């Protein structure tokens, strides 16, 4: 099978899929595999709320519904956060994607969790990578030549592209729905040029118990699989559906540009002590922590 099909089964199969497991995956507790910005506590939701309200410009946030797509079970970014929106709801795994009216549509590490396809340049042609069962073990195999239209016609032999086609399709699905407002996606990714020219080994990796691995076929259903998304593809999907001038910023720049008043007020309130809230703010903004590791794509449709 293709690697994309293997990933669909390993992550989303109802019986054995990693994201179908009932146990926690995110955080610092025993048995978790990775952490995200939401692990920092309510302050991430406060930053998101302040930034999204600012992005709405002169429009009253109280006339918009905040919709979070892909939230972890029993969690949401605005849980316990006082916000200015008319309502807040979550769309979780397996629930229908139904967007209409005035919305702020938000996601945190939704797109990097979508299945991706793998390709290698071999013998002057792109070949898709797949997965087969060999002598009782899973093994990587090369499938017949198949060159997606946007791929470069020449590359170093052995160059790998992990192509997040499903992430782009999901962005298109979200943008095609009959809603107006602001789209905000926090994730990690690269431009198409970076993926096609500057990442010779691809960007795919696995996470298990907070350890990164290149063994993508180990522990199917028990480890997370991910790759960098292509920001250009997501921005193009938004632009096709009349979103104005999609912008990608580092997480640090996004919050400093769009939640400056909240950051200043928080820093002033915590100035006399080294609190957990100040530490969490530092982790979210500092370039050596999450500030540069993650990026934010945002755009508005009036």
* Positive or negative torsion for Cα 214, 216, 218, 220: positive
| Nearest-angstrom CA–CA distance, 45 and 70 | 15
pLDDT for 278: 76
pLDDT for 159: 98
Flag residues of the chain having pLDDT under 70. 25-29, 31, 33-41, 73, 288-291
The model's pTM: 0.92
Share of the chain above pLDDT 70, in %: 93
pLDDT for 203: 98
pLDDT for 23: 73
pLDDT for 40: 60
Q: Domains (ranges, CATH) in the chain?
A: 1-24+117-163+193-227 (no CATH), 33-112+179-188+228-302 (3.40.50.12710)
């Amino acid at each position: 099978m293709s690697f994309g099909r293997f990933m669909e089964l390993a992550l989303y199969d109802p019986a054995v899929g990693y994201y179908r497991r009932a146990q926690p995956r995110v955080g610092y507790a025993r048995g978790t595999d990775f952490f995200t910005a939401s692990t920092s506590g309510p302050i991430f939701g406060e930053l998101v709320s302040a930034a999204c309200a600012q992005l709405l410009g002169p429009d009253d946030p109280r006339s918009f519904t905040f919709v979070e797509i892909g939230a972890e079970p029993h969690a949401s970014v605005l849980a316990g956060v006082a916000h200015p929106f008319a309502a807040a709801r979550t769309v979780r795994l397996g629930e229908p994607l139904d967007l209409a009216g005035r919305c702020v549509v938000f996601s945190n590490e939704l797109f990097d969790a979508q299945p991706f396809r793998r390709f290698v340049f071999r013998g002057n042609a792109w070949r898709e990578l797949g997965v087969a069962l060999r002598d009782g073990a899973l093994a990587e195999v090369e499938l017949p030549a198949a060159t997606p239209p946007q791929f470069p016609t020449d590359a170093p032999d052995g160059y790998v592209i992990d192509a997040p086609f499903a992430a782009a399709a999901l962005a298109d699905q979200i943008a095609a729905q009959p809603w107006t407002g602001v789209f905000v996606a926090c994730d990690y990714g690269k431009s198409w040029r970076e993926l096609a020219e500057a990442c010779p080994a691809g960007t795919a990796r696995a996470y298990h118990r907070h350890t990164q691995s290149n063994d993508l076929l180990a522990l199917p259903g028990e480890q997370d699989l991910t790759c960098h998304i292509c920001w250009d593809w997501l921005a193009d999907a938004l632009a096709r559906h009349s979103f104005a001038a999609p912008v990608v910023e580092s997480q640090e720049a996004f919050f400093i540009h769009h939640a400056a008043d909240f950051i200043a007020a928080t820093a002033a309130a915590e100035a006399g002590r080294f609190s957990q809230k100040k530490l969490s703010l530092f982790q979210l903004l500092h370039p050596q922590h999450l500030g540069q590791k993650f990026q934010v794509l945002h755009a508005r449709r009036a």
